[in-house]
Chain A
Amino acid sequence: MAVAPARDIDPFTVEIVKDSLVAIGDEMFVALQRTSKSTIIYEVLDFASGLTDARGQLITQGNGVTGFLGTLTFAVSYTLEKFGADGLAPGDVIITNDPYTGGGTHLSDVSLVVPIFYEDELVAFSASKAHWTEVGGKDPGSWTTDATEVFQEGLQFPCVKLYEAGRPVQGLIDLIEANVRLPDMTLGDMHAQAASLRLGERRFHELCDKYGVDVVLGSVEALLDYGERMTRLELARLPKGVYEAEDTIDDDGIGNGPFPVRVKVAISDDEFVCDFTGTHPQVPGPVNCTLTGLHSGVRTIFKAVTDPHIPVNEGCFRPLKVICPPGTIFTAARPAPVSTYWETMEYVTDLVWKALAPVVADRLPAGHFLSVCGVVVAGLHPDTRDLFLLVEPQAGGWGAARHRDGQQGLMCVGDGETYVIPIEIAEARYGILVDQYALDPTDAGAGRHRGGRGCVRDYRAVADEIYLTATFGRHKFVPWGVDGGSAGSRNEVRIFHEDGREVVLGKCARYRLVKDEVARLVTGTGGGWGDPRERPVEEVIDDVRNGYVSLEQARAEYGVILDPDTFEVVRLERSES
């Protein structure tokens, strides 16, 4: 075993230890992915794991969805606040999902925290947060669009010990087992999560054994300072000033709304302050977001405008300040329901984005479809009679950028690296047929650069009956354009009933469709950038040929009148010519 050099830490060792710390975060992430029993963890990657220092400052984090960015810090800080360093012992595992104190978002997202001791000294924490498929509550899968208080949404773990000094707290585990619908899966995920934290602990110990604990802790400081230094260099390149944005959240899923939200972003030489004062108070339905989600939402966009390539750690966020009074839709208090908090967290990110897009044009495109467009389809499979449960996000259109058209058919910002379910798999596994999966050509998103197209996906019931739960935000207030670009189009669910009735909605809970009825899932087209009449005529002709722009939109918004058969220009209606 190599021994740490006695002299001061040399710059190369610091680099190597820094990289090793980042690799530990990645390894913990892969370990949980590999051992989890829930598809939402090992396929959708709806989890994060990493290390913090002894004060709870994030050292490194691996995550699949951007919505978890930086949330581990809050779970650890609250653990420290509640137990104190003296109240923690080697072998402890702490469990928390409390949305209103540190680290919680909705009850399905459960954080575990392991204090890491080296030679009797608390030196770090490993922590992870994962979406458990089942935490009890009034509906299967726990999250729902019509809860009215948190008690309907599942079990609450108010930052308590799951293991004490290496021994499981069996009473708590039995209690969990008795209160969830799929105990095998839930407890399996719990053990997998704990095991990945122990792995992080072991790797941290190995690092201390090899380089010496002082060298490792010195490197941790260097890593945090490095994140801060790199971020400040980027911050210096941002335009100084105060930028404001307002928007509106559709509704809360149970008939209330709309809700105005707003931000004021102040960028100075050494600070980036987001002030959400003036945002609507918390609401009766489950779209409320709490403090941790607010911070994650801001951190996501802050990372995007500084440098997303800098490995994430607490140092990166030192210049960032978030201000918001308590009791708003972004800072809801107990017992507000929170199960679809992500719809509102997306607005946190989008507000700052909207405020800055005109002035940080090299990094931010126009508004995108924004909503996760979460869908749950449940029913009995016609072949096996087994219960099936399709849970998926939808892909949609992104906004145009200053120098290019928007991306088509991508996940929304908060969903990060997640995937749609392939048609073949959807049809084989669930009691549905996919009649079409196409880009949606609704007239929207025109501009010098046009917004990327959303998608349209038709689910036809093959089972005798299926039940659809959907939460499509931005159903009433569409993605924004920039610099004269048109707004995008809305997200919507359109139901075609047997008797010819057509129902259009943004949110629904357990909506019944019978065999051969169709649910059409439509995601928005992103906003455009710049005056559509400045888009070169040849590009408009190509768009029409390719089906991205209709003849009517070409005429009305781009001022290009084309022959419907030959696509030759009949007339231009543009001021400059």
Chain B
Amino acid sequence: MAPMVLAYIVSIAVALGLCGLLVQVTGGSATKVLSAMLDGSIRDAGAWGLTISTATPLLIVAIGTIVQGKAGMSNIGQEGQFLIGAGGAAFVATRMNAPGFVIITTSLLVGAVAAGIWALLPAIFKFTRKVPEVMSTLLMLFIADQLAQYALTKRWFLASRSTDSRVNNGETLKAGAHMPTFEVFGNAISWSAVIAIVLTIAVGLMLARTTTGFRIRMLGLNERTARRAGVSAALIGGGALVFSGVAAGLAGGIYLTSDIGPGRFTAGISSNLGWQGLLVALLARQRAALAIPMAFVFAALRTGSGYLAATGVDRQIADVVQAMLVLALLVPPAIQAYQEQRRGGAA
């Protein structure tokens, strides 16, 4: 175990070192970048509250991704499911007249259900027509994109009803339709962070301790055995796929109603949160508990990159760091597996 931990440390150090080198070579200062990122994500007043609020949608997407990954499914359309969830939530939130609590709950539910239905289609395609879910979820992501664009051209759908502006934007959310926050040491933290943590614990327990969780894991480890043991691949696997869609949709709704989002539906509202949530799940290596710190790290890179303008280094460096981190965590197990394969012959 110890050499493995060392391998991870070395690999992450190399990845971060390469990113630093990249900044230096292109005329920036790596230490300034690091310092600005830390200011933006943790050190400045209210910064870590912002980072936690940003981590929330990432964590929720990741939790759903972990469940379907455990079941052996490969949904990669979270970005689209997120968009559908945000759109569904916006449709309700901008139309309802009710106390804020009721609006928020209803719109989050509607968004989650809409995304769940969106993810149900690939599940149906897979179990009736054997269409690989990895392709169908990917293709549906782009259809979701166009659907969102279309929705923003129609007033009866999601386009803003109050202005005559030509820019296709969604109706701005009412003040009461925003997720409330609570304050910890001057950091405003969204209540959705609590939802995310509770969801993570619930899913972790469900996977580890319940019959359903056992069935999900069995299906992912060996489909044939699972079928013999009476696990319905369509029900459990499809259910896991739908659950990941629901989670991504919930994340979309939460981002829409949060104070860190644009405050209205836009075509670009998902802003890679779906993809990044998927990466968080990959980094956490399908462990729910690990997803929490990973989501925080990714969120810190997001919030920290907002502070980079002053250093003269382009904020896209945050994307590079994220991808390099994922690659770095893929390398040690890959090399280990390769060595075992060479040594043992048969895997």
Is B one of A's binding partners? no
Query: Taking beta carbons and an 8 Å cutoff, which residues of A are in contact with B?
Result: none
Query: Taking beta carbons and an 8 Å cutoff, which residues of B are in contact with A?
Result: none
